[in-house]
Amino acid sequence: MASPEIILAAAEAGHIVTAAAGTHVGTHGATHHEAPGLLDIIRNNLPALQVLVPLTLAPLITLLNNRNLSWLLAMVGTSVSLLIAVVLTTQVLDGSVISYALGNWAPPLGIELRVDAANALVLLIVAAIGTCAAIYARPSVDKELGMTEQPLFYTAFLLCFSGLLGVTITGDAFNLFVFLEISSLSTYALVAMGAKQDRRALNAAYNYLILGTVGATFYVIGLGLAYMMTGTLNMADLAQRLPDLMGSGTLWVAFGFITIGLATKLAMFPLHFWLPNAYTYAPSVVTGFLAATATKVAVYALIRFIFTVFGADFAVEAQLFGKVLLPLGLIGIIAGSLVAIWQVNAKRILAFSSVAQIGYMLVGLGLMSLTGLTATMLHMFNHALMKGALFFALGAVMWKLGGVTLDKMRGAGKLMPWTMAAFVGGGLSLVGVPTTVGFISKWYLLNAAFEREWYWLIAILLITSLMAAVYMWRVFEVAYLRPAPEGVQKGEAPLLLLIPTWALVLANFWFGLNATTTVNLAETAARGLLGLTGGAN
């Protein structure tokens, strides 16, 4: 049983911001006399608004059913979310926690939204990439989708966006499932919209639907077992009660189901089979958005369950790190990179590279140290930047050349120099060249391996970086060294495609050169997850 003090403390924590604003919001309706100002309302409800703004605009788009307005509303929804994510991040940068009680039902009974450094980082990723994707969507969607489907596309996009934000921000394990389904169902629809270009998108979406649903079901079965044992669904409350039940068989099964369910969602080898086709046949903007956000959010959810809910001790006892995450992560890195080398479609190259990059994140977890966890958190952010940039650049190539098989991309470097320059920038970051973010995350991963004195791991990390250089080089080679096919005019993609692409490329270099902010945030997040007090220095 949670003592009343805990509930009270949580309720107070929920209104830290409120108290500062000096209104009566924390108490019930009876004490509320004058309507508070709009600014106070916004300030008091930032965690709710984070999800609420895109979630409100999504049905409006369906209702208005207008192509131009849908794009505008999607832009508004994503950029307002980005603004809120930035404000929330600055509030938790010192290691503090914001708790928000939905419907004024105090946690653990009510649903709690909870922001700390770990999910603020993920909120930032999702909101930033979502904003870029919304700008990018306009020309790309015009080209790849029919005119009439567009409002529905933007509705699904905003739904997926708010679902991902919801998974990230919620402090309630069942609420996480609900948001996971909101984002997943809209993702299946988004992937299937690629059918206008290539009918195989339907097959890809169907495979994703089956595997994604299996994953979500596993998660909810595991959660059901944990609920049966504890009688609570609030993550913080679960975390308090689970240690007493250590050794219970039901709990092991629950842990197994939840881990495998989330591992399917994050495409951990060998549960990644949905990913390559879904990324290849989805519309360009969807691929860029999903590759940069969806798997990261699932990785975050797994981290949250391992460290916050079950606790690192439990996971160590279950031998999750040494016998599951580390070996499967390594196999994912090697197999993903190897397969990527032999692909003939640039989108598929990047898709298999994503499997490998997720492997890096899992290896970071498998290292079981503060540096390793920091490397994972960093790589989530950094990988979003590079894969976003790369897939968006490919989308621009798709816009002009009508395909991204290596054969179609011959001479693309001369035909569209700016687009391909962006692709090269993202590619360098993926390989891990110094001055890019890719280097920063690999550096931290190597450091963590050094700390453990696992020199074989360092060798594997270096070799797989070279493999990344090989598969990226194959694209660079056809784009720059092969002559363009006859009759294709030189010309750039529209600015609305280039601006978000280049913004992400520049972010790759910016955060590569000034890594302090992201490293601090990642380290604060890692410390918070491991229960070490104090922020990063």
Partner 1 sequence: MNHHLILRVITKILIPPILLFALYVQFHGDYGPGGGFQAGVIFAAAFVLYALIFGLDAANDVAPPHIVRGFTAVGWLLYIGVGVWSLFLGAPFLDYSVLAHDPIHGQHYGILLVEGGVGITVASTMITIFNYFAEHGRLPKEGDDD
Query: What residue ranges bind partner 1 (CB under 8 A)?
Result: 23-25, 28-30, 32, 35-36, 40-41, 44-45, 48, 52, 55-56, 58-60, 62-63, 65, 100-104, 199, 202
| Shortest Å, Cβ 364 to partner 1 | 35
| Shortest Å, Cβ 448 to partner 1 | 40
Burial of 213 (0-12, 13-18, 19+ CB in 10 A): middle
Burial of 489 (0-12, 13-18, 19+ CB in 10 A): exposed
Asked if 537 and 95 touch (Cβ cutoff 8 Å), the reply is no
| Shortest Å, Cβ 103 to partner 1 | 4
Q: Which is nearer to partner 1, 180 or 182 (CB)?
A: 182
Q: Which is nearer to partner 1, 30 or 147 (CB)?
A: 30
Q: Which is nearer to partner 1, 37 or 243 (CB)?
A: 37
- DSSP H or E run through 99: strand 98-101
| Shortest Å, Cβ 70 to partner 1 | 12
Phi-psi map region of 192: left, alpha, beta (phi>0 left; psi -120 to 50 alpha): alpha
| Shortest Å, Cβ 496 to partner 1 | 27
What is the rounded CA–CA span in Å between residue 19 and residue 300? Answer: 30
Q: Which is nearer to partner 1, 23 or 376 (CB)?
A: 23
| Shortest Å, Cβ 12 to partner 1 | 14
| Shortest Å, Cβ 200 to partner 1 | 12
Beta-strand relationship, 112-115 and 98-101: antiparallel
Q: Which is nearer to partner 1, 54 or 426 (CB)?
A: 54
Q: Which is nearer to partner 1, 181 or 317 (CB)?
A: 181
What is the rounded CA–CA span in Å between residue 328 and residue 59? Answer: 41
| Shortest Å, Cβ 198 to partner 1 | 14
Q: What is the DSSP letter of 325?
A: I
User: 497 in helix, strand or coil?
Assistant: helix
Q: Which is nearer to partner 1, 43 or 474 (CB)?
A: 43
Residue where the block lists tokens 């990047």: 350
What is the rounded CA–CA span in Å between residue 18 and residue 7? Answer: 17
3-state secondary structure 368-380: CCHHHHHHHHHHH
**For residue 108, cis peptide bond before it (omega within 30 degrees of 0):** yes
Q: Which is nearer to partner 1, 202 or 433 (CB)?
A: 202
User: 481 in helix, strand or coil?
Assistant: coil
Burial of 240 (0-12, 13-18, 19+ CB in 10 A): middle
| Shortest Å, Cβ 36 to partner 1 | 5
Q: Which is nearer to partner 1, 16 or 202 (CB)?
A: 202
